[in-house]
Structure 1
Amino acid sequence: MSLNLVADVQQMLGFHFMLNALRAGTIVAVVAGAVGYFMVLRRQSFAGHTLATLGFPGAAGAVWLGAGAAIGYFGFCVAGALVIALLPSTSRPGSGLGGYGDESAAVGTVQAFASACGFLFVGLYGGYLSGLNNLLFGTITAVSDSQVLLLLVAGVVCLVVLVALGRPLLFATIDPDVARVHGVPVRAAGVAFLVLLGIATAGASQVTGSLLVFALLVAPAAAATRLTARPAAGAALSIVLALLVTWCGETIAFFSPYPIGFWVTTLAFGVYVVATACRAGLEHRGHHGLPERCRTLPGVAP
C-alpha cells in the first residue's frame, strides 16, 4: 500500500476476485448489520455465536462429502437455528426480554457438539484440507461468482422477511407478554428470526470465516445501540457501521498477509470501543450539565 490511495484502490479493483469480495462483503454487511441489531436487542448474542461456530462443521462436512462449502454453511446454520428455536423455553413471565439467557446451557451444548463434529469431519476427510484456515478465518480470494449470486438471493430473501417481521418482532422483543396478549405470535416470530440469523451467519462465514463472523454480527449492532435508542435509526446505523468495517477490512487485507477475519474483527472492536466512549462522554457531560438540585433526585446517578 502506497500513499496514493486512489492508485491503490484502482489497483485493487483491477482484480476480479476483489470485485467479488467487495460485492459479497457488501451483501453480508447489510444483512449482518440488520439482523445483528435485532440479535443484540433480543439478547441472543450467545445463540448467534453458536450459529457462527456451526459454519465450520457444516463447511467441513460438505467438503468431506464432495459438496460445495456454501451448502454446508447454509445447511448447518439453518438446521442449528431450528434446533435452538425448538429447545424448550424455560423463560418466566416478567423475566425481561423473554428470558433468553435461561436457555444458554442448552445452546452451549449444541455449540460444543457442533464443534466436535467439525473436527470429526476434518479427520474423516483424510487428505490435506488446504482450505481449513479459510473456513476458520476467512479469505478474500475464495469468493466466486456463483457464491456472490447465492449470497445475493439469500440476502434479499432475508431482508424482505426481516422487514415484514420487523414490527411484531420488535414488539415481541421489548415485551413478549403484552405482545402475546395483543395477538402477536411470539413463538413463531422467534423461530423465524433465528432462521434469519442462521442465514445471515452462513453468509458472513464465507467472508470472515466461522470463528470471526460473530464480530460482524454483534459489534456494529452493539455500537449502534450505544449511540441511539431509536430502532429504525439503530438498525440503519448498524448497517452503515458493518459496511464500513467490511470495506475497510477487505481493503487492508488485500495489502497485507493477514486474513480478512482479523481485520474485520479488529475494526469492529475499535468501532464498539469508540461508540462506548462516546456514550460515556455524552452521559458524563449530560450529568454535569444538570443543575445542582437535580443531581440529588432519585434516578440520577451521582
Structure 2
Amino acid sequence: MSDLLGELFSFEGLGELLAVPFVQAALLACAVLGLIAGVLAPLIVSRGMSFAVHGTAELSFTGGAAALLAGIGVQYGAVAGAIVASVVFGVLGLRQRERDAVIGVVLAFGLGLGVLLLSLYDGRASNKFGLLYGSPVAVDTADVTVLGVVTVLVAATLAVLYRPLLFASTDPDVALARGVPVRALSIVFAVLVGLTTALVVPIVGAILVLTVMITPGAAAARVTANPLLATVLAVAFAETALLGGIVLSLAPGQPVSGYVALIAFLIYVACRAIGSRRRRPVAA
C-alpha cells in the first residue's frame, strides 16, 4: 500500500491529469453525487433499506445494459431501471416481512437479465465492465446533464419532504398516528434512492453501489445520533471516498471502484472504533 501511495504522489504528471477536461468532469460529477448520496445515506440506514439499494442497483444495471444494447445513452437506461425497481419495492415491499423476499426476487431477475443483455452486446468490452465496476472518467456532457437534472430533482424533493421523511424513518408508527403519509413517503423516498443509485452505477459500478449509498451513513451513525450532524458527516465521508478514489486511481491507472471502496471502508472502521470508545463505560 505504501509503495502504491508513493507511486501516486511521486507521479509528476498527476497535475496534468487533473487538468484534463474529462477528469475534471468526473471530479465534478463525483462531488455532486457525493452530496446527494451523503444526504440520503443516513435515511437509508435508519429505514433499513440497504438491501433495497442493492436490488435497485441490479435493476439499474439491467436498464443500463439494455440501453447499451439498444445504442442509446447508458445513463437513461440506468435511470429507467432504477425507477422501475424503486416503484416495485415501494409498492410491493412496504411490509417488513415481505420486503426482503420481494427485493431478492427482483434482484435475481435483474442481475440475470442484465448479464444476458451484456452477452448479446458486441461492442467494446470496457463498456460492459464499466456497468459492473464503474468508469468515472467516461463521464461526458450527456452524463453531466442527466446528473444535474436528477440532482436538482432529488434536492428539491428532499428540501420539501425532509422533516416528514426523517420522522417516518425514525419512528414510523408514531408518524402514522400523527397523520404523516408514511406509505406515500416510502414510495417517494424509494424513487429518490432509485434515481441516485442510477447515477452511482456508471461511476462506481453496480457491484459497489453500497459503498457510496450505505457506508457513509453507516459510518456517521457510529459516531453520532444527531440527524443533522450525521447527514453532514455522511456527505463528508461520501465526498472523501469518491474524490479520493479518483485521485488515487489516476497515476496507477487502476479501476476507481476499488479505491472508493477502500477509503469508505477505512472511514467506517475508524468511526466504529471511535463509537466503541465513546460507549465504553468509565471505571469508577
TM range (shorter): over 0.9
Contact 2:8-2:251 at 8 Å conserved across structures? no
Query: 1:30 and 2:38 equivalent?
Result: no
C-alpha distance in 1 between matches for 2:88 and 2:64: 18
Match of 2:26 among 21, 25, 32: 21
C-alpha distance in 2 between matches for 1:123 and 1:183: 49
Which runs of no fewer than 5 residues in structure 1 stay unpaired? 91-99, 292-302
SS at match of 2:138: coil
Match of 1:276 among 263, 272, 278: 272
C-alpha distance in 1 between matches for 2:86 and 2:10: 45
- In structure 1, the residue matched to 2:170 is 174
Contact 2:93-2:100 at 8 Å conserved across structures? no
Taking only the aligned residue pairs, the percentage that are identical comes to 32
Contact 1:48-1:197 at 8 Å conserved across structures? yes
C-alpha distance in 2 between matches for 1:159 and 1:101: 31
- In structure 1, the residue matched to 2:4 is none
Which runs of no fewer than 5 residues in structure 2 stay unpaired? 1-6
Superposed structure 1 runs of 4+ greater than 6 Å apart: none
Q: How many Å apart are 1:146 and its aligned residue? A: 2.1
Provide closer, same or farther for how the CA distance between residues 156 and 89 of structure 1 changes in structure 2, counting only shifts above 3 A: closer
C-alpha distance in 1 between matches for 2:230 and 2:201: 23
Query: What is the one-letter code of the residue matched to 2:151?
Result: G
Q: How many Å apart are 1:65 and its aligned residue? A: 1.2
Query: What is the one-letter code of the residue matched to 1:28?
Result: L
CA-to-aligned-CA distance 1:190-232 (integer Å, 9 cap, x gap): 0000000001101111211111122111111100011110001
- The 5 Å alignment of 1:96-107 reads 100=96, 102-107=98-103
TM-score (norm 2): 0.93
- In structure 2, the residue matched to 1:288 is 282
C-alpha distance in 2 between matches for 1:207 and 1:147: 10
Query: 1:118 and 2:123 equivalent?
Result: no
Contact 2:8-2:248 at 8 Å conserved across structures? no
SS at match of 1:258: coil
Match of 1:229 among 225, 231, 235: 225
C-alpha distance in 1 between matches for 2:123 and 2:19: 34
Could you say which structure has the larger radius of gyration? 1
- In structure 1, the residue matched to 2:78 is 73
| Structure with higher helix content | 2
Query: What is the one-letter code of the residue matched to 2:210?
Result: F
Contact 2:14-2:250 at 8 Å conserved across structures? no
TM-score (norm 1): 0.87
- In structure 2, the residue matched to 1:52 is 57
Aligned length: 278
C-alpha distance in 2 between matches for 1:243 and 1:101: 34
Match of 2:252 among 242, 256, 264: 256
Aligned alpha-carbon RMSD (Å): 1.7
Q: How many Å apart are 1:55 and its aligned residue? A: 2.2
- In structure 2, the residue matched to 1:162 is 158
Q: How many Å apart are 1:9 and its aligned residue? A: 5.1
C-alpha distance in 2 between matches for 1:202 and 1:68: 13
- The 5 Å alignment of 1:204-223 reads 204-223=200-219
Contact 1:62-1:68 at 8 Å conserved across structures? yes
Provide closer, same or farther for how the CA distance between residues 12 and 137 of structure 1 changes in structure 2, counting only shifts above 3 A: same
C-alpha distance in 2 between matches for 1:221 and 1:124: 37
